Amino acid sequence: MSIQWNEKNREFHLRNSFLSYIISLLPDGSVGLAHFGPPLSPDRSYPRLLRTESRAWSFRGDGQPDDFGLDFARREYPTPFRGDFRVPALTASDVRGAPLALDLRYAGHLVRPGKPALRELPATYVEDAAEAETLTVYLRSADCALEVDLHYTIFRDLPILARRATIRNAGSARVFLDRALSASVDFDDPDWDLVQFSGAWARERHVRRRRLGPGLQSVSSVRGHSGHEHNPAVALARPGTSEESGEVYGFALVYSGNFVAGAELSSHGETRVSIGINPENFRWSLDPGAGFETPETALSYSRSGFSALSDAYHRLFSKRLARGPWRDRERPVLLNNWEGTYFDFNEERLLGMARSAKDLGVELFVLDDGWFGERNDDTSSLGDWDSNPQKLPEGISGLARKIEAMGLKFGLWIEPEMVNPRSRLFAAHPDWAIGPMNGARTLCRNQYVLDLSRGEVVDHLYSVLSRLLRSAPVSYVKWDMNRSITEPVSSALSPERQGEFFHRYILGLYELYGRLTADFPEVLFESCSGGGGRFDPGLLAFAPQAWTSDDSDAIERLGIQWGSSFFYPASSMGAHVSASPNHQVGRAVPLGTRASVAFFGAFGYELDPDALSGADRAAIKEQISFFKEWRTVFQFGSFLRLRGPEDGDGNEVSWMSVSGDQSRAVVLFARVLARPNPPFGRLRLRGLDPERTYRVSARPSVPVPGEASARLNDGSRGGDELMSVGLLLGGDGWAGIPRGDFASWIFTLEAVT
């Protein structure tokens, strides 16, 4: 890893063994991008890669060379109004509303070891200054008071470059930022697919891949949270790129609020990727002397397909974004009562469930919604976080202590950011809800959102939550957020600052999460937003796992977890076995398959264990003990996608996880619908050691009779054979085919040599 400055050619070369990022100064003194991609020799310099060109209708400033046009240049932090008509990274206006034609030029730089923390926002980090190096490029303008610093951190052991900007008003008059993105990256050619992760509530983060066409294509959120609809992480891939080969670039925004991420293909075939806070509904007032920091974007590059890209993000997010003691710990097997009881429970029923769960091997009992105020349905009491004495006569602390006495840990659901109009909190503080005080506010799930841009609201929530966590042995918190923000007006902000509201909300949220996680490091936080409505890198910095989706159906989860795995590690995905037929889609899936899919995550159950048949109870006991034996590999192994919903007819999905030393691996193979007389096939495994021999054992989702069952566990194979020939599917091979729809197998591999 190195960052070199070549004074003569005015070029920075940031390099590690995975990638080079070469920044050069353009003829107008601004900062351009010569190369982002495979590592290039640090012994040369690359002025010719910084193509400068001028054509008809080209624009350049006085005294700049004839062969230079801003509209074709690869610019690192583009500003508009001077001849570059593509999407800008930064726009600003003065107090009269007049746009500023910012002419930001290189004015110096600083290279330092390590990676400085951000002031107010979560970010990736290093534990030792030798793990990374950081370059800051100072941009200044002769005719405007705005100063911009571009920060680049290159990691030694990861194909990751972290980028962000800080902007300061060095003048004597107020300036408004109308757009302040985190990164803009210009590529030289048009041959790209944009890969995004999109969906809706209960069907989040499905892979969508489209060929770039002329113009702007982007995903975004204006909901006040990152949203179920699109994820703030996208990839730009060559059209032929597959899991194992081809070029792909990743862009992940460490942020939980309104975002935009997209690509613009210009008329001359250049591609500009932009990512950052959504400029829609954003206007930040910078007083003289004040500064603004953008969220961080983690960029990555792989020349060997999506798997390597995913591996980079899994390592970054699980080890250098997530923090606290739970980062490296195996996550407890939990039972959550939500789908088992919904609002209908009392202490006796919960204790009964906990006792049964303990008997099954569960380690953590989680009490979900409905334990506080007068909440027996979703119409009231959010905001009133005192336990309901009718349901819990000895309160949360009494219940938690009884559950701990059984040898279980206790966890609790809370939705701190919300308030129901029917609550004591709203009666006392109507102005704490977002929206105009005397105007109409829009309801969603009968609730309003509290104004976390206000310090007193954050302080109030901190005191409620910290009191709760101190008053009872709570080991885990599921922090929910069940609606988007409407009427984005804060009664505490002046009219000219209302454009700051959405970002200030997220800053308040991070402050609250930051204070609580610092004061209660032993508590495991799981974030949630109606399932995966805020499943983003920003919250991973505080909560190392998130409830992946409210859809707990194993077949739907194949697509959801598959898509999520492009950027997010298995340890971050809450994944539960729920009852059959499934409550979201009505599908009846074998218990074995429900567990096989959920194993690859922060595993648990979400059903009433007292309603289980004896056979199911026995099967679950066995599942949990199997899971515990393999938990490290499921949650912390290298995750590889083998066959996905978008391959072939999508009927088969397969992925695997391999331990760091390649001695153990687990493989999922799921077949959605049964087919008569199925064709033969092979499942090639990956990530194994070709020199070693592995004992392969199969766990089918439903028992396989007789001879076929014996064949399932027929011994040992070389890593080379498993990866180049694979497991034979159907016919005479390993697979006794369980009959019926929604069958699956888990294969375990243990190195014997």
Given the rule CB under 6 A, which residues bind ligand GLA?
338, 368-369, 413, 480, 482, 528, 530-531, 547, 550
Which of 451, 550, 553, 689 does the annotation list as catalytic? 550
CB of 519 vs ligand GLA, minimal distance in Å? 24
Token pair recorded at residue 56: 């008809």
Nearer to ligand GLA, 478 or 503 (CB): 478
* Whether 311 is catalytic: no
Instruction: Please give the Cα distance from 591 to 623 (Å, whole number).
Output: 10
* Whether 741 is catalytic: no
Nearer to ligand GLA, 178 or 550 (CB): 550
- Going 423 to 428 to 432 to 436, the CA torsion angle's sign is positive
CB of 314 vs ligand GLA, minimal distance in Å? 24
Instruction: Please give the Cα distance from 421 to 427 (Å, whole number).
Output: 7
Q: Taking a C-beta distance cutoff of 8 angstroms, is the pair 345, 370 a contact?
A: yes
Q: Taking a C-beta distance cutoff of 8 angstroms, is the pair 623, 595 a contact?
A: yes
From the list 749, 608, 737, the residue with the least C-alpha distance to 679 is: 737
Which of 28, 103, 369, 480 does the annotation list as catalytic? 480
CB of 378 vs ligand GLA, minimal distance in Å? 6
Q: Taking a C-beta distance cutoff of 8 angstroms, is the pair 380, 374 a contact?
A: yes
Nearer to ligand GLA, 204 or 243 (CB): 204
CB of 606 vs ligand GLA, minimal distance in Å? 8
Print burial letters for 368-392: b (CB count within 10 Å at least 16), e (below 16).
Answer: bbbbbbebeebebbbbbbebbeebb
CB of 559 vs ligand GLA, minimal distance in Å? 18
Instruction: Please give the Cα distance from 246 to 237 (Å, whole number).
Output: 8
Nearer to ligand GLA, 102 or 477 (CB): 477
Nearer to ligand GLA, 103 or 339 (CB): 339
Instruction: Please give the Cα distance from 97 to 395 (Å, whole number).
Output: 55
Q: How many angstroms separate the Cα of 25 from the Cα of each of 30, 154, 270?
A: 6, 19, 19
Query: What secondary structure letter does DSSP report for 557?
Result: H
Instruction: Please give the Cα distance from 261 to 251 (Å, whole number).
Output: 8
Nearer to ligand GLA, 259 or 371 (CB): 371
Query: What secondary structure letter does DSSP report for 58?
Result: -
CB of 657 vs ligand GLA, minimal distance in Å? 25
By Cβ distance, which residue is nearest to ligand GLA? 369
CB of 532 vs ligand GLA, minimal distance in Å? 9
Nearer to ligand GLA, 576 or 686 (CB): 576
Instruction: Please give the Cα distance from 561 to 314 (Å, whole number).
Output: 14
Instruction: Please give the Cα distance from 252 to 595 (Å, whole number).
Output: 30
Q: Count of residues for the chain?
A: 753
Tell me which residues are annotated as active site. 480, 550
